A and B are shown apart, each in its own frame.
Chain A
Amino acid sequence: MAVAERLVVERASKTFGGGELTVFADLDLAVRDQESVCVLGPSGCGKTTLLRAMHGLVGLDEGRIVVDGSVVLRPRSNVAMVFQHFGLMPWKSVTANVAYGLELAGVARQEIAERVTRYVELVGLKGFERSYPHTLSGGMQQRVGLARALAMEPDILLMDEPFGSLDAQTREILQDELLSILQITGVRGGRAPATMVFITHSIEEAIALGDRIVVLSARPARIRETISVDIPRPRTVASVIAHPRFVELRDRCWRLLRERTA
């Protein structure tokens, strides 16, 4: 079943301002089960809107998005999202923030407690369960955001430039941890790692995390090219950068991004 298509975008178009501003047009994209797809494009090209549409947070003007065979109309509980702005509730402790999605999904209390413990530990926040977000650094806040999404044990992870607002060093640490978390078998109750759609404007990040990279053109965004990242897993950011294919892949992405603005 590893080749089954999990999330399919079909001829999707989105405009704002009553059709004045076309964000993306005629997008087709299929994400296979257990595949990690990075959507690469410059800021403001509609990547985030596309991701929000994948979760049913915004509607499309044309086309449709299908997850597991049914059209996405509203957020579903087997899909979890991580936000660029972290989206933590300042009045909730780390524990309560991680438990948030599980509570809304109606998971039993005992199960919530177990999962919170497990995923807080997995993202390296053990000992900070009772801390509040404003006492944590940006990197640690996003660990909470990640734990909140992972705790849902989702089939699909939607990542909206989750490390975009972090400093370079913290970003690389979190990229590495995300890579290793997704490679740990047993994270999702013994099942294989999740399918992931990861929005980014960083070429290095896209190569490090993606099995495929979808490069978008300038607004109105269209798919410029889809690139397979033929660097084997398990990966780390360092091993990816050191891989002989890395420079070629980076140059190719770079050229695609440059051409578009020229």
Chain B
Amino acid sequence: MTVGEAQRAAGTRAGALAAARRRRLRLDLGDWGVRIGSVLFVLAVWEFVAPRFNPLIIRPPTHIFRAFGELIANGELQEALGQSLREFSGGLVIALTLGILLGIASGRYRFVYNAIDPLVSALYSVPSVALVPLIAVAFKFQGDAPRIATVALFAIFPILINTQQGVRNVDRGLLEVAKAFNTSERRLWTDVIIPSAVPFLLAGVRLAIGRALIGMIVSEFLVGLVGLGYLIIVYENVFRIDRMFVPVIVVATMGIVLMGLVQWIEGRVAPWTRREQ
């Protein structure tokens, strides 16, 4: 075996080890069996226990499933979901745009950092829910604007702070390498700063999705009663607990799907971080 071959063999071995490490972190068939089994077990107990209680308080999963069909058949669910998705996506886009821009600017420039850090800290410390009535008044309760603004408020902080930390935590060694090869300021951003901030940013987006969903439901409760939040309140008021659960499950599904999507993107655009997760 030549030196080159030995090196290559060692490389493949290292690659195989890394792959094995990843596989152990990824869920295999047995893991999935336990996860699905656990959910099925809870559903079965629920189904069995629910009829013994007052149907105004608890309904079995099969009834909820039937209610799903009803709300789809009369079109209520689609309409509410469409409404909620509009607010959610509008707010998230605003949070992403502002959060990334301010995060980059404050991560890079001391002046911007000093200018916005006290405000960000103050706003982040206040429970965002407490600001919803203020937003409602500010937007005069008109249309989707106050709800979109609420979603944006809930979602922006993890994005902003993570982007900022990502930009600030760039490996000093890599900055030196860039300097040693005479980088331009623009290439420094595209080669070093932005790529190293992306994993931080995506982790922030994952946190932001959960908060954006809270913002969406809370604003629908507090500002104008529309969307999935409206369905929850309305069917709670008429004690249709089976129907009330439908939008709750839809929101949970949105969260799971979107976070899974971001995690998948993380694996695609930042594969070197996968080991640490």
Q: Which residues of A contact B (CB under 8 A)?
A: 52, 55, 57, 74-77, 81, 83, 85, 87, 89-92, 100-101, 103-105, 124, 126-128, 131-137, 139-140, 173, 177
Task: Tell me the bound Cα distance from A177 to B3 in angstroms.
Answer: 10
CB B30 to nearest CB in A, in angstroms, measures: 27
CB pair A136–B4 under 8 Å, yes or no, is no
Contact of A87 among B177, B184, B198 (CB under 8 A): B177
The 7 A-B residue pairs whose C-beta atoms are closest, nearest first, are: A87-B177, A90-B272, A91-B195, A101-B181, A134-B272, A124-B4, A85-B173
A127 touches B191 (CB 8 A): no
Kindly list chain B residues whose C-beta atoms are within 8 Å of the C-beta of A139: 7, 10
The residues of B that contact A140 with a CB separation of less than 8 Å are: 7, 10-11
**Residue among A83, A87, A104, A136 making CB contact with B182, cutoff 8 Å:** A104
B118 in the interface (beta carbon within 8 A): no
Please tell me the number of chain B residues within 8 Å of chain A, measured between CB atoms: 29
Contact A83:B176 (CB < 8 A) given known A90-B272, A137-B10: yes
| Consensus secondary structure, chain B interface | helix
List the count of A-B residue pairs having beta carbons below 8 Å apart: 78
Minimum CB–CB distance from A24 to chain B (whole Å) comes to 19
Residues of B close to A128: CB separation below 8 A: 8, 11
- Residues of B at the A interface (CB closer than 8 Å) are 3-4, 7-8, 10-11, 14-15, 18, 173-174, 176-177, 179-184, 187, 191-192, 195-196, 198, 270-272, 275
Pull 26 A–B residue pairs with CB atoms less than 8 Å apart, ordered by A. A57-B176, A75-B180, A83-B176, A85-B173, A87-B177, A89-B177, A89-B192, A89-B195, A91-B195, A91-B198, A91-B270, A101-B181, A104-B183, A105-B182, A124-B7, A131-B15, A132-B271, A133-B272, A134-B18, A134-B272, A134-B275, A135-B11, A135-B18, A137-B10, A137-B11, A173-B7
Is there an interface contact between B14 and A136, defined as CB atoms closer than 8 Å?
yes
* Candidate in A76, A87, A100 with the most chain B CB atoms within 10 angstroms: A87
Task: Verify B184–A104 contact, CB threshold 8 A.
Answer: yes
Measured between alpha carbons, how far is A100 from B173 in the docked complex, in Å? Answer: 15
Rounded to whole Å, the gap between the CB of B125 and the closest CB of chain A is 34
The answer to whether A57 and B182 have CB atoms under 8 Å apart is no
Closest chain A residue, CB of each to CB of B177: A87
Residues of chain A lying within 8 A (CB to CB) of residue B192:
89
The residue of chain B having its C-beta at the shortest distance from the C-beta of A52 within the complex is B176
Contact B181 A75, beta carbon cutoff 8 Å: yes
- Which A residues touch B15, using CB under 8 A? 131, 135
Instruction: Take A139-B7, A173-B3 as given contacts and tell me if A91 and B181 are in contact as well, using a CB distance cutoff of 8 Å.
Output: no
Question: A105–B187 Cα gap in the complex (Å)?
Answer: 12
When the two chains form the complex, which single residue of B4, B8, B182, B270 contacts A77, counting CB atoms closer than 8 Å? Answer: B182
A89-B195, A132-B272 given as contacts; is B173 within 8 A of A137 (CB)?
A: no
Considering the chains assembled together, what is the distance between the CA atoms of A131 and B7 in angstroms? 14
Give chain A nearest CB distance to B192 CB in angstroms: 7
Instruction: Let me know if B3 and A124 touch, CB within 8 A.
Output: yes
Chain B residues, Cβ within 8 Å of A91 = 195-196, 198, 270, 272
Question: Can you name the residue of chain A whose Cβ is closest to the Cβ of B270?
Answer: A91
Q: Given the complex of chains A and B, what is the CA–CA distance between A181 and B53 in angstroms?
A: 82
Q: How far is the CA of A87 from the CA of B7 in the complex (A)?
A: 20
A92–B272 alpha-carbon span in the complex (Å)? 10
Contacting residues, chain B, for A104 (C-beta < 8 A): 181-184, 187
Q: State the Cβ distance, A26 to closest chain B Cβ, in Å.
A: 26
Q: Who on chain A is nearest to B7 by CB?
A: A124
B188 to chain A: closest residue by CB:
A104
Other contacts beyond A126-B4, A134-B275, A140-B11: 8, CB < 8 A: A52-B176, A85-B173, A89-B191, A100-B181, A104-B181, A104-B184, A135-B15, A136-B11
Q: Say how far B2's CB is from chain A's closest CB, in angstroms.
A: 9
